[in-house]
Amino acid sequence: MTEENSNQQAFEYISNAEMKQKWALEDDINPNDLPLDKINPGHNEWFKRNQELEVFERLRQEDPVHYTEDSQFGSYWSITSYEDIKAIDMDHERFSSDIMNGGIRLGGQPMAEPPDELFHLPMFIMQDQPKHTEQRKEVAPMFTGAHLATFEELIRTRTCNILDDLPDGESFNWVQDVSVELTSRMLATLFDVPQEDRLKLIHWSDTVERISDPNFFETPEEGFQEIWKCFEYFNSVWEDRKANDQGGGDLISMLARGEATKNMSPNEFLGNILLLIVAGNDTTRNSMSGGISAFNKYPEQLKKVKADNSLVPGMVSEIIRWQSPVAHMCRTAMEDVEVGGKLIKKWDKVAIWYVSGNRDNLKFPESNQLIIDRSDVRQHLSFGFGIHRCLGNRLADLQLKILWEEILKRFSHIEVVGEQQFLPSSFIRGITELPVVVHRH
């Protein structure tokens, strides 16, 4: 970063409650009633209220390259059409992901020097070339098709056990009892840590998304202090793997041996651990829950896959498109760029809204509908494109494929019986409460 980044903004450090109050949305606000220039699509409350799709539908129609001048995140652009999102995602020369240039999330700003290490957690998804690929390749062998095939029997056994233990005729929270259980067990396997520690991983993943939530932490600093407990845990694992290197194939051993990762600083080590935890948890977990929600809205699609189980792989991709578990990524313009007839200036923050592009009717006709045999569905944006495409996309597909194969064997349907609750996050589009009753064959 140089003195050219005149768009750098100062942020006041206030409590989470004060921040929430300062930027509160009216309780009964309709996004279609707001003046266009007042729309802040990154406001977490849209997502908590399940209104975000209305926001993005309006922007795609009226202002697909939208500028928000004043928000809790500072000023930023929102890119909402499929083609523009994909083009920026693949243009890593002109649009930076580097943490020093602002990183991949709303609120991150260009920095002349790294801040306090408590808050500065670099990770390879927030690196530009060549460092990004140098670090990413160290853990890439975990996610090859051949290696993932070795997990299939284990994933299926766990899935069967969890589904077989679900209560008959009683309401339970699908998110906690199925989605979290399956993803946490897989995370513990990938890191080769004890299964009894798996919920610690979920806790740290959730903490990343709750840092600014006053219901969890009084200040962001408290959230970051909680996150550093993750470092304490994994640092002991790291030291053990380095001292007793037996060529293990787990993620920690790969990082400890890798030329580009073995000498990471503590905060970079923590950043990459958190990346792998969040990436391994949120996409799969929320798609597992989103699929149940979707089939309750579109039961005719469930009948379709029951009649033809060969539709399951494509159905999994459609569920991931429909849920869009990662709502956005951010980039920083490294030069002036025209997008959609508007000039994005050097150092401007740019949010590419996967959740919006996945509902673009120009790419996916009837995009608000779940259509399990939709053509071209594997072109969804949920895993991203370009050098930052989700490393674990095939593992997510595999886990969801197995889950639905086993669901179809056991249940006539899974009924949503209460109000769903949604994560107050514009980054991870998640479901926190999904009360269901299962109906077995």
Q: How far apart are alpha carbons 3 and 8 in whole angstroms?
A: 10
Q: How far apart are alpha carbons 428 and 172 in whole angstroms?
A: 23
What is the residue-averaged pLDDT of the chain? 92
In degrees rounded to 5, what are phi and psi of residue 365?
-55, 145
In a domain? residue 166: yes
For the ranges 12-26, 47-61, 314-328, the lowest mean pLDDT is seen at 12-26
What does 323-377 look like in DSSP terms, one character per residue?
Answer: H-SB-EEEEEESS-EEETTEEEPTT-EEEEEHHHHTT-TTTSTTTTS--TT-TTG
| pLDDT value of position 8 | 38
In a domain? residue 262: yes
Q: Please compute the mean of the pLDDT values over residues 159-164 and round it to a whole number.
A: 98
User: Looking at the predicted structure, is the pLDDT value of residue 7 above 50?
Assistant: no
For the ranges 3-12, 166-175, 277-286, the lowest mean pLDDT is seen at 3-12
| pLDDT value of position 11 | 42
In a domain? residue 1: no
- The percent of residues above 70 in pLDDT, for the chain, comes to 96
| pLDDT value of position 72 | 93
CATH code for position 173: 1.10.630.10
What does 238-299 look like in DSSP terms, one character per residue?
Answer: HHHHHHT-----SHHHHHHH-TTTTT--HHHHHHHHHHHHHHHHHHHHHHHHHHHHHHHH-H
Buried b (16+ CB within 10 A) or exposed e, 155-176: bbebbeebbeebeeeeebbbbe
User: Looking at the predicted structure, is the pLDDT value of residue 423 above 80?
Assistant: yes
What does 90-102 look like in DSSP terms, one character per residue?
Answer: H-TTTEE--GGGT
In a domain? residue 103: yes
Q: Which of 191, 193, 355 is nearest to 274 (CA)?
A: 191
Under the banding of pLDDT at 50, 70 and 90, the label for residue 122 is confident
User: Looking at the predicted structure, is the pLDDT value of residue 112 above 50?
Assistant: yes
In a domain? residue 275: yes
Q: Which of 328, 334, 425 is nearest to 110 (CA)?
A: 334
Q: Please compute the mean of the pLDDT values over residues 26-40 and round it to a whole number.
A: 92
Residue 313 tokens read as 């792989």
Give residue-wise pLDDT tens across range 37-95. 999 999 999 999 999 999 999 999 999 999 999 999 999 999 999 999 999 999 999 99
Overall number of domains in the chain: 1
Under the banding of pLDDT at 50, 70 and 90, the label for residue 10 is very low
Under the banding of pLDDT at 50, 70 and 90, the label for residue 118 is low
Give residue-wise pLDDT tens across range 195-218. 999 999 999 999 988 888 888 888
- For 263, the domain range is 16-440
In a domain? residue 6: no
In a domain? residue 2: no
Q: How far apart are alpha carbons 237 and 159 in whole angstroms?
A: 27
In a domain? residue 9: no
CB 416 within 8 A of CB 435: yes
Give residue-wise pLDDT tens across range 367-410. 999 999 999 999 999 999 999 999 999 999 999 999 999 999 99
Q: Could you tell me the pTM of the whole model? A: 0.93
